[in-house]
Amino acid sequence: MSSWSAPVASGPVVATVDLPGSKSITNRALILAALADGPSTLSGTLRSRDTDLMLSGLATLGVDVAPAPGDPTTVHITPGPLHGGRVDCGLAGTVMRFLPPAAALASGTVEFDGDEQARSRPLSTILDALRSLGVQVDGDALPFTVIGGGAAAGGEVTIDASGSSQFVSGLLLSAARYDQGISISHVGKPVPSTPHVDMSVQMVRTAGVVVDTSVADTWRVLPGPISAVDWQIEPDLSNAAAFLAAAAVTGGTVTVPRWPAVTTQPGATFVDVLHEMGCRTELVDGSLTVYGTERPAGVALDLHDIGELTPTIAALCALADGESVLSGIAHLRGHETDRLAALSTEITALGGHCTETADGLRIVPATLHDGTWHSYADHRMATAGALIGLVTPGVAVDDIETTAKTLPDFPAMWSGLVGVS
Ligand SMILES: O=C(O)C1=C[C@@H](OP(=O)(O)O)[C@@H](O)[C@H](O)C1
Ligand SMILES: C=C(OP(=O)(O)O)C(=O)O
């Protein structure tokens, strides 16, 4: 496994970083385009491991996927009759949870598998939901099989989506194409990452689908066509977080252009986190600029809605000038890796104090030292290690290549922050 010496900033980082498309928006747009009533074009498409797995999965099932010559971020999607095939989900939650409800509409058997590490990610909630909606599914985790009958009944289903918002989103995205639509009711502890559910609702509505959300924790999707839409994908604001954090830990200035004025991306909330830590931000002409302080302040934050930002925020907390408590994120144990265990192990190994609580982390800053930061095949663990290494000489991040899950250019972009090419 590779070892990447994290670049060290010799002073405040001053940079402008233009981020590629959002993983979450790209993979939703791809499902909707594949099930639409005509061809669609995606512009600003993220091309990364997670989104390329979605493109390949759809192509395997009979969708015509055509990147524009010379511009891989413009992708033409022409729906076709779906048939059976083998889908590799890698470690992508959006592929393993969004594609099975679409596969249920195929004529044929669709076999799903993924990385070894993906086999322990929670899936039974959505597979049980499909079974109760009239779909034949063998298995409760990867690998599993969906035996598509060319159509699916749909109807009402009650699920406990407290383990992942993606269970709700996966059903929402394909629901209109089920004979009776799907009415999803959630019963259990609160659904995490609700901005991601809002993103799904907003995008299916943009595609002309009727969704009734007037009852709390219930999403009633009426049956009907999904309209073809030419999707313009926003930059990935969750990937932006690590770069903005570079300003926070070096007292620098980082600007991200094309920052959407209105968005459902949870990454937008990172601005509030930075304010809480003592940074200043400014949105001018569509560009967001963060002005860092010398040392961010410790914080007490409930991250239930923005769990995917936790590795970046935890790294900031390890470099802060006071204790932090991050809560509401028990579900992160089912992310790419058990992120609570991984963060506490790695921060502690570099001399910090980070302990797991029942639903989060307690981080007491200490002077960090050199050492190896392990990534656990988790892109956001890798970027968190890079952030700590930016101000801690001698940090080597193993498997930095895992950032290709959502940002293949991360090592070069990060080195660019300190002027190393
Ligand atoms: O729907 C999505 O695009 C996502 C939903 C969230 O999943 P969880 O609700 O499982 O945290 C988030 O963490 C993930 O990175 C992307
Ligand atoms: C949790 C994440 O990914 P996934 O879509 O694989 O769940 C993430 O990107 O932080």
Q: Provide the pairing of β-strand 395-398 with 371-373.
A: parallel
Helix (H) or strand (E) holding 218: strand 218-221
pLDDT tens string for the chain (421 positions)?
A: 789 999 999 999 999 999 999 999 999 999 999 999 999 999 999 999 999 999 999 999 999 999 999 999 999 999 999 999 999 999 999 999 999 999 999 999 999 999 999 999 999 999 999 999 999 999 999 999 999 999 999 999 999 999 999 999 999 999 999 999 999 999 999 999 999 999 999 999 999 999 999 999 999 999 999 999 999 999 999 999 999 999 999 999 999 999 999 999 999 999 999 999 999 999 999 999 999 987 899 999 999 999 999 999 999 999 999 999 999 999 999 999 999 999 999 999 999 999 999 999 999 999 999 999 999 999 999 999 999 999 999 999 999 999 999 999 999 999 999 986 5
- Which residue has the CA at smallest separation from atom 9 of ligand 2? 308
What would the two tokens of residue 316 be? 């900031």
Q: Please report the pLDDT score of residue 366 as a whole number.
A: 95
Specify whether 333 is located in the same domain as 355. yes
Specify whether 268 is located in the same domain as 389. yes
Asked whether 118 lines ligand 2 (CB < 6 A), one says no
32 neighbors 225 (Cβ within 8 angstroms): no
Asked whether 164 lines ligand 1 (CB < 6 A), one says yes
Is residue 176 assigned to a domain? yes
What's the CA-to-centroid distance between 338 and ligand 1, angstroms? 14
Is residue 408 assigned to a domain? yes
How many residues does the structure list for the chain?
A: 421
CA geometry: angle 4, 371, 296, nearest 5 deg: 90
Is residue 284 assigned to a domain? yes
34 neighbors 63 (Cβ within 8 angstroms): yes
Most ligand 2 atoms within 8 A of CB, residue of 332, 336, 405 to mutate: 336
93 is in an annotated binding site: yes
Q: Please report the pLDDT score of residue 380 as a whole number.
A: 98
Q: What are phi and psi of 41, to 5 degrees?
A: -125, 130
User: How many domains, the chain?
Assistant: 2
Specify whether 388 is located in the same domain as 278. yes
Angle between helices 166-174 and 93-103 (to 10 degrees): 30
Closest CA to 377 of 339, 329, 351: 339
Specify whether 201 is located in the same domain as 304. no
Atom in ligand 1 nearest the alpha carbon of residue 165: 9
Asked whether 247 lines ligand 2 (CB < 6 A), one says no
Please give the positions annotated as active site: 308
Asked whether 308 lines ligand 2 (CB < 6 A), one says yes
Q: Cα(28)–Cα(102) distance, rounded to whole angstroms?
A: 12
254 neighbors 286 (Cβ within 8 angstroms): no
- Which residue has the CA at smallest separation from atom 10 of ligand 2? 308
Write down which residue in 156, 188, 221 finishes a domain.
Answer: 221
Do the interacting molecules here have an ipTM over 0.85? yes
What's the CA-to-centroid distance between 305 and ligand 1, angstroms? 10
Is residue 361 assigned to a domain? yes
Domain extent for 57: 23-221
Q: Provide the pairing of β-strand 353-357 with 360-364.
A: antiparallel
289 neighbors 49 (Cβ within 8 angstroms): no
Could you tell me where the beta strands, DSSP code E, fall in 40-167?
40-43, 64-68, 71-78, 83-88, 107-113, 136-138, 144-149, 155-159
